[in-house]
Amino acid sequence: MEKKLLVTGMDFLLDWVGQHIKSAEIVCSGDVSEENLSRLVKDADGILYMQAKSYPITRKIIESGEKLRFIQSAGVGYERIDLKAATDNGVVVMNMPVGTTVSVAEHTIALILGCAKNLVKAHENTVKGGWRILGLGVELWKKTLGIIGFGRIGIEVVNRMKAFEMNILVYDPYVGKEDIEKMGGKKVDLQTLLKESDIVSIHSPLTKETENLIGEEELGLMKPTAILINTARGELVDEEALYKALSERRISYAGLDVFRQEPVEADNPILKLENVILTPHMAVQTLDAVVRMMNQNGIQIEKALNGIYENVVNPEVLEKLKK
């Protein structure tokens, strides 16, 4: 019997992915309702989870897959996949952690520079015929950059920001002091990082421990001249507290590529602020990153269809499969 791959979140599959998948019929669905996916997954061997929309892969969907063997997240994040349900049912969950690193790091730096130099406000004023300075920008040279989460992206941001001779502070409870110092940083606790940093950039994964990592208390520790950057996950920041801090000028600026609700809701008050630069979860959206990531997805899925699993995030399932 021919194998089947269910692609969720898209009505079509990009050629870059499909050219590598030879072992399965491919069925794509832009309808990501639980009812529809539960129906389509019944005879699927695998799911390619495309995160074009914010939607979950629930226990019901997973348990509806009568021969489901794996779920592949097309990107780094997999927090909307019910990992426990997958593990309970012997379903391997994989992600794609590498292909997006450079593009997200570069987008982070673009937001840092945009905020520090008031670029969006200056552009808008200039195209309207204005020719005046709308508040002074700041130099990054010799300032302090705080990195929250020192994984691949955090490290790449630091590598690039060294050109500004910035002092680097890092908060990551899972990375050792020596590894941080090798990269020219200093390991500190979160409170110290927030108090001393001129730029705070978030690169943590979303977990139960990191949800609302930056709230009212944490924002209150930051300098009034500080800039907050988030290209990780919207749920890491308490948006109400952030809006209050920005509107009251208790921090200077924020650059956000992610939001708690995506697409961002039209009545989100952050949209009305002047001291923000906002982008639509597009840090990974460069031609280079998309081609690289989609090729890697296709190769990894073809291997999974043939029982070879890479970048597994619930490795305990592999032990079950051996028995």
> Which residues are the active-site residues?
233, 262, 281
**Which pair of structure tokens corresponds to residue 291?**
């081609």
Other CB atoms within 10 A of residue 121 CB: 18
Q: Are 189 and 204 in contact (CB under 8 A)?
A: no
Other CB atoms within 10 A of residue 197 CB: 27
Dihedral-angle region of residue 73 (phi above 0 means left; psi in -120 to 50 means alpha; beta otherwise): beta
Q: How far apart are CA 103 and CA 108, in angstroms?
A: 9
**Which pair of structure tokens corresponds to residue 313?**
């995030």
Q: How far apart are CA 196 and CA 178, in angstroms?
A: 21
The order of strands in the sheet holding 92-94 is 24-29, 3-8, 46-49, 70-73, 92-94
Residues 112, 116, 117, 118, Cα dihedral to 10°: 100
